[in-house]
Amino acid sequence: MKGILSLDCLPCGRVARVLDVDANHAAGERFLALGLLPGGEVTVDRVAPLGDPIAIRVGSLRLAIRRRDAACIRLTFEKRDEP
């Protein structure tokens, strides 16, 4: 079963695929230019002690982005069965 959420809500260590990036957001076009393209895999590597910014991995690229900017990136992921 698939789920949809924004990058700012993705738990640390979880892998997801980019569904879309809001190009109307101030950072949206920059994210697209950096390789956050639909279908690509993204992982949240680390979260700052106070929760902002977050470090993400896109292919071999690592980026630190603000949570409010990460909210413009929608992801799809496989839901895990909970025991």
pLDDT per residue as tens digits for the range 9-33:
999 999 999 999 987 888 888 888 8
Extract the runs of DSSP E, i.e. beta strands, from 1-83.
2-6, 15-21, 41-47, 54-58, 61-65, 73-78
pLDDT per residue as tens digits for the range 50-65:
989 999 999 888 999 9
Q: Rounded CA gap, 12 and 45, in Å?
A: 6
Q: Rounded CA gap, 77 and 57, in Å?
A: 16
Residue 1 pLDDT: 57
Q: What tokens does 51 get?
A: 């929760």
pLDDT at 82 over 60: no
Of 15, 23, 21, nearest to 37 by C-alpha is: 21
Q: What is the pTM of this model?
A: 0.83
